[in-house]
Each structure stands twice: as structure tokens, then as C-alpha cells.
Amino acid sequence: MKALHIKLWRDLLRLRTQAATIAVVVAIGVAGFVGMFSVHASLQSSRDDFYRDNRLADVFASVRRAPVVLRDRLAALDGVAEVKLEVLFDAQIDLPGVEPPVTGRFIGLDLARVHAQRQGINTLSLKRGRWPEAGTALEALVSDRFAAARGLQPGDTVHAILNGKREAVHLVGTVASPEYVFASQGGAPDDTSFGIWWVDESRMSHAFDMQGAFNHLTLRLDAGAALAPVLLKVDRLLEPYGAIGAVGRDKQLSTKIVSDELAQLKVMGTVLPSIFLAVAMFILNVVLSRQVATQRSQIAALKALGYGDAAIAWHYIQLALLIAGLGVAVGLGLSLLIGKAMLGLYDEVFRFNSLRYITHPGLIVVSTLLAAGAAAAGAWTAIRAVVRLRPAQAMMPPTPPVFKPTLIERIGLGRFVSTGARMVIRNFENRPLRAAFTVTGISLAVALQISGAFWLDAIAHIVDVQFRQVQQGDVLVNFHRPVPVNVVHDLKRLPGVMAAEPYRSEPVRVHFGGHRVDTALTGYVADAQLMRVVDEVRGPVSLPAHGVVLSAMLAREMGARVGDRVEVEFRLYSRVRAELPVVDIVQTMFGKLLFMDLDTMNRVARDGEGVANAALRVDPAEMSRFWSAVKSAPHINSVFDKAGSMAAFDKTTSRNMGVFSAILTLFAVAMAVGIIYNAARIALSERAWELASLRVLGMTRAEVSVLLLAELGAELLLALPIGAFTGWALATLMMQLMSSDSIDFPVIIEPATYASAALIVLAAGIASALLVRRQIDRLDLVAVLKVRE
């Protein structure tokens, strides 16, 4: 074995504790990078396989009512390979043992094609049970996610109000649909209150008076066909029938939610591991700088014996690479644990046909190269100056640092500071770069802790705004078709209803400055309280009696400002166009939306004073009687129970975000320990002779420990506010990278989050300091004072 190889293993053994802490930081970076990207690749592969195997459509469109004779004209459009026409309606469902009714989306299913295994577009995958049969009993399939959330099994019977008629629905199987990976009525997915049901299409058409008609279509395009021309032609063809607007797969609600989830995962797999690798490079630089400084004479001897600069530099780079290699090995094993744990959580969310964990070899190669590159760069910056010295220069000890009076001493306040404190301040002030490195590393540990925990604060804020400020009512109801505004008088007669307000929401197309956006326009009554517009900054906003109010996201996309005039095209009923002034722009978190006064909206639409929605406030003591009355109300086709939705949302998000936050907390603690422990060990190595001399002069172990650790404590305290600001900046960056065209998440960080991050890092710092204090207590004064480094 060569002499340099023997020296390499001896150095590694001597630095084993510091090497282990550095390897842990590298391992965390590698584990985060490989684990999160593997989860992303696994989900993306499973999604693509699921979409391909189940033949997910390329175009989706809804209409109020259109004749099925349009099938041939749709099929004849250039680029269209296959057409599927459906009848679908939402209806309220009475589940056994469940007090509030839930909403189901009923879709007609061609049983003949199903049994012939020729479903065509958006093929259903049978998970449990069997396919429905035509007959006197109304048999149905239900989405697997809803069945799991509600504990439904094949053989169960529920009751649904289909077009005003209460019918028994017999569940015979559960399925997964590529069109409804996430089932949502437009807001956040909620599998406990909204499910998808498939029944015989002939029974569906008969129940809703849709014989010879459809209200939903999907298209599969030829390979390589351009999407935009097809969307335009479909809209033109369906326009006379109340078209809501055709969209491509990328804007279909379920596929968009899946894509957004994958995009967010990719951001987290890029940003956070990069921080850990950067910190690892920094620690390696500091440790090797100290190692090289203490081995100047050895380097000189090696040069004198004929070893070249390249060989010596490679020796120290090898040391860094060994430490990084250990971190990579541990990180790859840790990535497997983290990846599979996260994939298990996502499996409950996505419920694809199959979900298998995949780690591409390219990820391992890239992570290894990143870690090796970071280690080599850190090592080279530490050794490049020393290895270039001539042997005679390297034999000489490094020039002692020149200490100058500190700022406190120069302004005459030195006499008010103890000798020990002056020593700490002098050492801190005259080595600012090293202090800055340590402060930066600790602050990043604080920032990572904050960036993992702030999600819970942001979600709590979203729940507060959406469920307590925007929607102050307890229940939202939707009717089959528009009803007179005075329906509120009937709603108030329901048991327990203390207040009721109607509102209207309708799909529209907005034109301005060459832009065209399909969105929704909502009209609220004057001084609405149960459903209202809330600005993130200004709070509740009163809608003016004229003009339209735009959400900030819509205004930004269209370039509209207050005072501009936009053209609003109603899509569903009247299909009129109206030019309206923009009277206000509100900052909302969700959607590119428009808002108007309800009376103004009805007047502009010129289609009467009908509404299809209402918000209710219900006496909690009367909820049971209220739900019983709603279940027997034939014209209410869907309901939204705020309390139940909040509970389901909180359960899901708290668990998932809790796991993510816990992982980041452990990572941040490991990083803080690695930085603080290494900083303290390096300081002890540099000042061992000085501390031993002070012990000989009569200072106690505690006093000597204070001199060493007080500087570290000052750096730790200085890092906390910097880390708090860096955490806010990192959270803001992540939100910007994860933002989509329909969600504007706020960066909300509560004081308790800052405090907990600071306390966790402080605890890690104290633990590291206690470990180093043991090393101080074990100093061999005679051995240290014999040879001064």
C-alpha cells in the first residue's frame, strides 16, 4: 500500500466523528433528491400507464343539452379518431347510517359495450364486484376512492334523488376511471362527500328526460393531431346547445390536479436537496481547510520526497470523496425508505391500477456525481493554496493571525466587558468569514425547518378564509334547474334554517385585449353574508350595483385594470354578450373568477331571475331534522356540508403534511448538529493550546468551556433571525415554483412556527455543545502543551 493511501485511512479514522456528521448531511441531500424524484417518476409512470391502458380522452366538453345526431359531425372533424357521448347529472345520495346526504355524479354507461369489452374512451377498471346488468333493479358502479372513504361494498343499497324521484340504487362493483382520478365538483377533492356513479345509460336518459340527447362528450384525437383547431371546431358546433367550452386533457380538472401534484413534488425534490448538498460542501471545505493547515509540515515532507502537487491534491480530494461516498451509500438506502413511505401515502391519494416504486439508474448516477462534485469542489478550495507552496515555505508554520482591538474597545467600552467576553468578541470579529459560514449553515437549518412546517400554517389560513370568511353558511344546496329567487322563503321553512341567501354561478367566456378565458361568473345578493367575496388584504368586499369584479389572477392574465371594459359571453342559458366595466380587482386564492351583484347579473343575462344555488345557516341543534328534510326535497340535487368537508380535509392534509414536516424536521436537526458540532470541533482543534494554557494558569473547565462555546452560542443566536428570514424566502420561492394558473397559495408563517424552528435548532446546538464540552474536559494538558500546532 502506498504511503499516501496509508495516510488517507489514518486521517479518515482520526476524523471519523466529523466525517460521520458530514456524511449524514450528504446522505440527507442524496436521500431527498433520489427519493423524491423516484416517487415523482413512479407516480408519473403509473399515471401514464393508467391513462394509456384506460384510453383517457384528449378533449372534454359539456353542454346543456345536445342531440346525439351530432355524433357523426363530431366524428367527421379533422383530427378526431373517436367520439363518446354521455349523459351525466349530479344528485344527492342517502347513504345508510350517514346523516348528511352526499353528492353523487351519475353517468350513463353503455352496458352492451361493457359486456362486450369494448368500452372505448375512458375505460373503467373493475376493482371489486361485477359489471351492472340491465333489469328492473337500478344497478350501479361507484368510484373506488369514494367506496373506500365511505366503506361501501358490492351488495350495498343506497337511495338517490334522480330528477326529483327517489330511487334505490344497488351497488354491484367499484371501479377506477382515468377521467376521475381526483373527483371534484370544482374545489378541493373530497372523497367522503362526492363520488362518481355509473348506471345503465338507458335508465339514466329516461330518468333525466335526455332520450336522444347528451350533455357531456369526450374525444380521442389522431396521433399528431393539433389540439387547438379541434377545440375551436367543437365549440362552434356545440355553441347553439349551451356549450360550456371544450378543453384539452391538460385542463381537465382531474388530470390538472394530478399534474400539479407531480410538479410540486418535483420542485421539492430539486430545491431542498440542493441546500443539503451545498451545506455538505461547505462543511467539507471547513474541515479540510483545518486538516490541511495542521498538516503543512507533512505536505512539505511529501513534496520534498518527490510527490507532486497533483498527487497531494488528489490525496485530499480522495478523503473528501470517501466521506461523500459514505454519505451517498447511506443516502441511497435512506431514499428507499423515504420513497416507499411517501409512495404509500400517494397510493391512497391517486389509486392508480398499479403503483410500483422505481429508481432510475440515472438518478443514482446524477446524485453520485453531484455529491462527488460538491466534495471535490469543497476539498479543492481548501487545499489549492497550500499545495502550491514550495517545500521550504510549507515547512514554516502559517503566519499567526493579527488581532486588532475590537469595535467595542475602539469606542472605549472595553472596560465594561469582562476579559473572557473580550476574547470571544475579538475572535469573532477578526475571523468574520468563518463566522459567516457557520451562521449561514445554521440559518439554513432553521430555514429548512420553517419551509417544512409552514405548509400547515398556509392550509389553516386557506381553511379559515374559504370556510369561515368566504362561506359563512353551514350548507350549500344546488337545484336541478334555475328556480325563482324567492326560493329562499321555502328554504327558510326547512327545520333549523336561520338564514338563506340565493346566488348564481354560470360558465362564461371573457374577452379583453385579444385574450379569451373560459371561467365562471358568480352573482351574490347585495350585502351577502353567507357566501361573499373576500379580498386577502381588504377582507370582505361589497359588490357594486354595476360592473364586474375580477379576481387578481384573471386580471393579471388578461392585463385588465379597474376602469377597463371586458366582454362577458354567457355560455349556458341566454348566451348573450355584454360589455361591462371592471369596477374592482380582488385578491383571491383560487381561480380566475368574476363576481357581480345578483340583480345586475340577471339583468345583464336577460334570462329571468333564476338561481340554482343557495347558502344556508342552520341551527346546530336542528341538524338532524334539517338533513331529514333535505333528503326528501325533490328539487335539491346536491349539497355541500361545510363541517363534514372541513373534517375530511383536515384529516387528510394534517396527516400528509405532518409526515412531510416530520421528515424535514429530522433532516434540519441532523444538518444543525453536523454544522454546529463540526464548527465546535474545529474551534477546539485550533485553540487547544490556548485553552490548555488557560487551564494551567488557573481557569476552571467551565470557564474554559465558556470561552470556546460562547462564540458558537453567539453565532447560533445570530443565525436564528437570519434563518427565520431565509425560511420565509425559501417558502416564498417554493410557492412561486409550485404556483399554477388557478391557485395562488399564500405564504403564511405563524409566530409559533418560527419559534418551534428556533427551539429545535437551539436544542440541536446545545446537544452538540455538550458533546464538545466532553472533549474539553478530556484535554491532556501535558500532551497539548508539548507541541503547539
pLDDT tens digits along 561-576: 999 999 998 887 777 8
Q: Examine the pLDDT at 786 and tell me if it is beyond 60.
A: no
Residue 675's pLDDT is 75
Residue 487's pLDDT is 82
Mean pLDDT for the stretch of residues 314-336:
85
In whole angstroms, what separates CA 734 from the centre of its chain?
Answer: 9
Range name among 193-197, 235-239, 467-471, 782-786 with the lowest pLDDT average: 782-786
pLDDT tens digits along 359-402: 888 888 888 888 888 778 777 776 776 666 666 655 666 566 66
Residue 789's pLDDT is 45
Residue 654's pLDDT is 66
Mean pLDDT for the stretch of residues 660-689:
73
pLDDT tens digits along 212-236: 999 999 999 998 899 999 999 998 8
pLDDT level of residue 67 (50, 70, 90 thresholds):
very high
pTM exceeds 0.85, yes or no: no
Residue 383's pLDDT is 73
pLDDT level of residue 681 (50, 70, 90 thresholds):
confident
Q: Examine the pLDDT at 639 and tell me if it is beyond 70.
A: yes
Q: Examine the pLDDT at 757 and tell me if it is beyond 90.
A: no
- Greater confidence (412 vs 494) lies with 494
- Greater confidence (624 vs 417) lies with 624
- Average pLDDT along the chain: 82
Q: Examine the pLDDT at 409 and tell me if it is beyond 80.
A: no
Residue 401's pLDDT is 60
Range name among 523-527, 564-568, 708-712 with the lowest pLDDT average: 708-712
Q: Examine the pLDDT at 29 and tell me if it is beyond 60.
A: yes
In the chain, pLDDT over 90 holds for what percent of residues? 20
Residue 316's pLDDT is 78
Residue 605's pLDDT is 86
Q: Examine the pLDDT at 615 and tell me if it is beyond 50.
A: yes
- Greater confidence (191 vs 187) lies with 191
- Asked whether 555 and 494 are in contact (CB, 8 A), the reply is no
Task: Show the 3-state SS of 104-164.
Answer: EEEEEECHHHHHCCCCCCCCCEEEEECCCCCCCCEEEEEEHHHHHHHCCCCCCEEEEEECC
In whole angstroms, give the CA distance from residue 283 to residue 676. Answer: 10
Which residue bears the cell 378564509? 465
- Greater confidence (109 vs 257) lies with 109
Q: What angle do CA 19, 22, 26 make, to 5 degrees?
A: 130
- Greater confidence (109 vs 643) lies with 109
Q: Examine the pLDDT at 87 and tell me if it is beyond 90.
A: yes
Residue 392's pLDDT is 61
Interstrand relation of 577-586 and 565-570 (parallel, antiparallel or unpaired): antiparallel
Mean pLDDT for the stretch of residues 644-668:
73
- Asked whether 401 and 428 are in contact (CB, 8 A), the reply is no
Residue 580's pLDDT is 93
Residue 37's pLDDT is 84
Task: Show the 3-state SS of 291-355.
Answer: HHHHCHHHHHHHHHCCCCHHHHHHHHHHHHHHHHHHHHHHHHHHHHHHHHHHHHHHHHHHCCCCC
